Chains A and B, each alone.
Chain A
Amino acid sequence: MTTYTICVFTSNTIGLLNRITIIFTRRRINIESLTVSETERMGVSRFTIVIKHESREEVEKLVRQIRKIVEVLAVFGYLNDEIVYNEIALFKVATPLGAKPLDVETVNKQHKAWVVYWGLDYVVIEKTGSEQEIFAFFEYLRQQHEILEFVRSGRVAVGKTEKGLVEYLPEAEWAYYMA
């Protein structure tokens, strides 16, 4: 099984998520993770969908089916080495009185993770990185502390080519998003 990251640029309309995901479910392809957000262009959404598949050919067919959706502006399928990608994870870790203190130095320096919230008897730690790095950190924490909650985001990714989005979505057609 090879991991593929599929980036889909669409105009931002209701129901589009469903229209995209049924293309996967109809072919019995499981979506490992999915992230959607508006891009720097106003009205343009970016879907980052991670799947595992044995056949590159089938993934290419899938990409062409997604491209066929009327609201889809562009679709790219990437292998892991063609992108820079990351995920974000939050860990809620119990720190009651008398428990082993959190080794903040190891957390910071070895795992590049940060405490983002201090509760009365728990902390929330944020860690960004690859799936492997996040699970390595999970293992470390689990051995030291009680993990009350753990959540991991979907992957976000950008292609390693020198091309920017502007090549596919000309500036003349899409204004930039201003917060």
Chain B
Amino acid sequence: METVSVLPEIETEPVAMKLMSGSEALMRALLAENVDTIFGYPGGAIMPVYDALYDFQDQINHILVRHEQGAGHAAQGYARMQGRAGVCLVTSGPGATNLVTAIADALIDSTPLVCIVGQVGKKLLGTDAFQEADVMGVTMPITKWNYQITSADEVPEVMAKAFYIAQSGRPGPVLIDITKSAQLELMTRPFTYERCQSIISYRPRLVPKPDQVEAAAKLINEAKRPYILAGHGVQLAKAEEELKAFAEKTGIPVATTLLGQSTISTDHPLYVGWLGMHGNYGSNVLTDQADVIIAIGMRFDDRVTGDASKFIKQAKVIHIEIDPAEIDKIIKAHAPVVGDAKEVLNALMPLVDPNDHTVWRNEFRKYDTIENEKITVPSLSGASEKIQMGEVIDLLSKKTNGEAVLVTDVGQHQMMASRYYQFRRPNSLVTSGGMGTMGFALPAAFGAQVGAPDRQVVAIIGDGCFQMTLQELGTIVQNKQPVKAIILNNNFLGMVRQWQQLFHQRRYSFVELQNPDFITIARGFGMDGHTCSDRAALSDSLDQMLAHEGPYLLEVIVEKEENVFPMVPAGASVSQIRLE
């Protein structure tokens, strides 16, 4: 038998001249973009990249999730905390399709993501190869941009574009599908990386046109009952200070959207509540009384407008928005201002007159009194047999001084969290607004904690939602992230049950759950926790959770059939809001 001697390879070329594989180029591209954390899950068609990653472990913290959807939501939580793109790395076929929900969620909630997805080799494309899925086709409608890399040489330029597109203008998810052959092959030229600064066909306007700003300022200065509706765009532009200064100078009351919450402190005298189906009473109905609406970085979602044909018909609308496609999409703007919220507010500031609008602002307080009497006080009174959801959030809010990052799932608990948490710090609510993705909270809370290690992150989760992504408890434990999770357990898919009660004559169709023992499950993953079903023990339970060093799961057994009010029934106008 012939013996083949294998001599150790000696590097004779200087490193800079060495030709790099597509996989290594990808790693170097991530480093050039200052990426230090990625969320991922390996598999066949992404293995060369994982092999390259092995050599970069000290520079890039790869977090192994338990399901690709978890990687996506974790990257979203991370991105929202960091204000820059979250990065996911998954394999082809099912790896990529499992990521789809998170990508769609990130698109509608304008969250920057760069999703790197393996693909079968170039020669196998279109042959129905093992784990081949048309991921480009699947993700085209739900990405801001997607691109298939089929040669190693493309890597630096395409990755630079990916990060630029994801993070600039209105942020959103970008997907890069990279064939296994491109991961393996060597580049034909030395690796160089230039961060993308502009793309000829993509030029988001940040600085507004002066005539648009002047027209808006004129409307604001003439207004008798102006009203600011602040959305997620304010936070994305990091314009919280500018919003506050603008509102204080002009004396204009400020409401936020669901995703706009925490952009202004809830104890600020100009804050009047949040908008939407389950938002506050006054903030919703007084949209009908305003003469000028100043909508900043929001898109008039149907959960905000109710019947859009009846929404703010009496008002002149100033729409400040970075995405021109949002202008006039739902609500006609009399004075559109296209630009970044921060830039626009800075441009408006010197043009607006100081004012205070006390009489108008006091209108909101009248409604607050009614809401307080009819809803808030009874919800927090502790008069019911079992704990009510609002009580948990109210206590948590007090114990954390309103300074925690709240990560909520989707349903009644989400609305209750928004209603009763008193946000004191900017960028403190991470929730799935547009997509309404159940299962979002646990992985997103994990990602948020990784992205904001100095902050207290608390996930508020329903018993239904928890069971959609509970495997990520494993990720939390393995990575020793001190995420606190509260399950508000009513043994129901509560929001659906509420609709069935109110609009379907209590025909409870498949909304009751036979739940597992959540605490045993958590312990099985190595996470501590306990159940609280007694009101007298609630305060201590929250203290115990917050004082715990590592991750902790608190299950609170709440009233089974509690409803969230106020409520604007779907399709009704905002004036038809129900208090009971």
Chain A contact residues, CB within 8 Å of chain B: 10-11, 14-15, 18-19, 22, 26, 57, 60-61, 64-65, 67-68, 70-73, 173
In the assembled complex, which residues on chain A have CB atoms less than 8 Å from the CB atom of B137? 15, 18
- Could you list 13 examples of A-B contacts with CB < 8 Å? A10-B201, A18-B137, A22-B140, A61-B325, A61-B329, A64-B324, A64-B325, A68-B324, A70-B144, A70-B165, A70-B199, A70-B201, A73-B200
Chain B residues touching A, majority SS: mixed
> What per-residue 1/0 map shows which CB atoms of B303-329 lie under 8 Å from chain A?
000000000000000000001110111
Known: A73-B201, A173-B200. A15 touches B136 (CB 8 A): yes
In the assembled complex, which residues on chain B have CB atoms less than 8 Å from the CB atom of A65? 325
Shortest Cβ distance from A71 into B: residue: B201
- The A/B interface has a contact count, at CB < 8 Å, of 42
Closest beta carbon of chain A to B103's beta carbon, Å: 15
CA distance A60 to B328 in the complex (A): 10
Shortest Cβ distance from B137 into A: residue: A18
Known: A18-B140, A19-B140, A68-B323. A11 touches B200 (CB 8 A): yes
Is B346 engaged at the interface, CB distance under 8 Å to the other chain? no
Known: A10-B201, A15-B140. A67 touches B324 (CB 8 A): yes
Shortest Cβ distance from A21 into B: residue: B140
Is B145 engaged at the interface, CB distance under 8 Å to the other chain? yes
In the assembled complex, which residues on chain B have CB atoms less than 8 Å from the CB atom of A15? 136-137, 140, 146, 148
Within 8 A of A (CB), among B111-152: 136-137, 140-141, 144-146, 148
CA distance A158 to B123 in the complex (A): 41
In the A-B complex, the 8 residue pairs with the closest CB atoms: A64-B325, A73-B201, A70-B202, A70-B145, A68-B325, A22-B141, A65-B325, A71-B201
CA distance A67 to B205 in the complex (A): 13
CA distance A68 to B202 in the complex (A): 8
Within 8 A of A (CB), among B145-196: 145-146, 148, 165
In the assembled complex, which residues on chain B have CB atoms less than 8 Å from the CB atom of A19? 140
Closest beta carbon of chain A to B138's beta carbon, Å: 11
Shortest Cβ distance from B174 into A: residue: A70
Known: A22-B140, A68-B323. A11 touches B201 (CB 8 A): yes
Shortest Cβ distance from A19 into B: residue: B140
In the assembled complex, which residues on chain B have CB atoms less than 8 Å from the CB atom of A70? 144-145, 165, 199, 201-202
Shortest Cβ distance from A72 into B: residue: B201
With A64-B329, A68-B323, A71-B201 already in contact, 17 other A-B pairs whose C-beta atoms are closer than 8 Å: A11-B200, A11-B201, A15-B136, A15-B148, A18-B140, A22-B141, A61-B329, A64-B324, A64-B327, A67-B324, A70-B144, A70-B165, A70-B201, A71-B202, A73-B200, A73-B201, A173-B200
In the assembled complex, which residues on chain A have CB atoms less than 8 Å from the CB atom of B201? 10-11, 70-73
Closest beta carbon of chain A to B139's beta carbon, Å: 11
Closest beta carbon of chain B to A38's beta carbon, Å: 15
In the assembled complex, which residues on chain A have CB atoms less than 8 Å from the CB atom of B325? 61, 64-65, 67-68
Closest beta carbon of chain A to B154's beta carbon, Å: 12
Closest beta carbon of chain B to A105's beta carbon, Å: 50
Q: Are B148 and A14 in contact (CB under 8 A)?
A: yes
In the assembled complex, which residues on chain B have CB atoms less than 8 Å from the CB atom of A60? 328
Closest beta carbon of chain B to A18's beta carbon, Å: 6
> What per-residue 1/0 map shows which CB atoms of B1-14 lie under 8 Å from chain A?
00000000000000
In the assembled complex, which residues on chain A have CB atoms less than 8 Å from the CB atom of B136? 15
Q: Are B141 and A26 in contact (CB under 8 A)?
A: yes
In the assembled complex, which residues on chain B have CB atoms less than 8 Å from the CB atom of A10? 201
In the assembled complex, which residues on chain A have CB atoms less than 8 Å from the CB atom of B144? 70
Closest beta carbon of chain A to B341's beta carbon, Å: 18
CA distance A57 to B328 in the complex (A): 9
Shortest Cβ distance from A10 into B: residue: B201
In the assembled complex, which residues on chain A have CB atoms less than 8 Å from the CB atom of B327? 64
CA distance A14 to B329 in the complex (A): 29
Closest beta carbon of chain A to B207's beta carbon, Å: 19
CA distance A65 to B329 in the complex (A): 10
In the assembled complex, which residues on chain A have CB atoms less than 8 Å from the CB atom of B200? 11, 73, 173
Closest beta carbon of chain B to A100's beta carbon, Å: 49
Closest beta carbon of chain A to B25's beta carbon, Å: 21
CA distance A65 to B323 in the complex (A): 10
Closest beta carbon of chain B to A47's beta carbon, Å: 13
> What per-residue 1/0 map shows which CB atoms of B432-465 lie under 8 Å from chain A?
0000000000000000000000000000000000
Shortest Cβ distance from B327 into A: residue: A64
CA distance A173 to B146 in the complex (A): 23
CA distance A65 to B324 in the complex (A): 9
Shortest Cβ distance from B201 into A: residue: A73
Closest beta carbon of chain B to A67's beta carbon, Å: 7
In the assembled complex, which residues on chain A have CB atoms less than 8 Å from the CB atom of B323? 68
Shortest Cβ distance from A170 into B: residue: B200
Shortest Cβ distance from A15 into B: residue: B136
CA distance A125 to B564 in the complex (A): 71
Closest beta carbon of chain B to A21's beta carbon, Å: 10
In the assembled complex, which residues on chain B have CB atoms less than 8 Å from the CB atom of A173? 200
Select which of B145, B199, B328 is within 8 A of A61 by beta carbon.
Answer: B328
CA distance A72 to B329 in the complex (A): 20
Closest beta carbon of chain B to A46's beta carbon, Å: 14
CA distance A70 to B144 in the complex (A): 8
In the assembled complex, which residues on chain B have CB atoms less than 8 Å from the CB atom of A14? 148
CA distance A15 to B177 in the complex (A): 13
In the assembled complex, which residues on chain A have CB atoms less than 8 Å from the CB atom of B328? 57, 60-61
In the assembled complex, which residues on chain B have CB atoms less than 8 Å from the CB atom of A57? 328
CA distance A57 to B165 in the complex (A): 28
Shortest Cβ distance from B324 into A: residue: A64
CA distance A18 to B327 in the complex (A): 25
In the assembled complex, which residues on chain B have CB atoms less than 8 Å from the CB atom of A22? 140-141
In the assembled complex, which residues on chain A have CB atoms less than 8 Å from the CB atom of B141? 22, 26
CA distance A22 to B136 in the complex (A): 13
Closest beta carbon of chain B to A106's beta carbon, Å: 48
**In this complex, which of B140, B146, B148, B165 has the most chain A Cβ atoms within 10 angstroms of its Cβ?**
B140
Within 8 A of A (CB), among B319-358: 323-325, 327-329
CA distance A10 to B199 in the complex (A): 12
Closest beta carbon of chain B to A28's beta carbon, Å: 14
CA distance A10 to B201 in the complex (A): 8
Closest beta carbon of chain A to B115's beta carbon, Å: 16
Closest beta carbon of chain A to B576's beta carbon, Å: 26
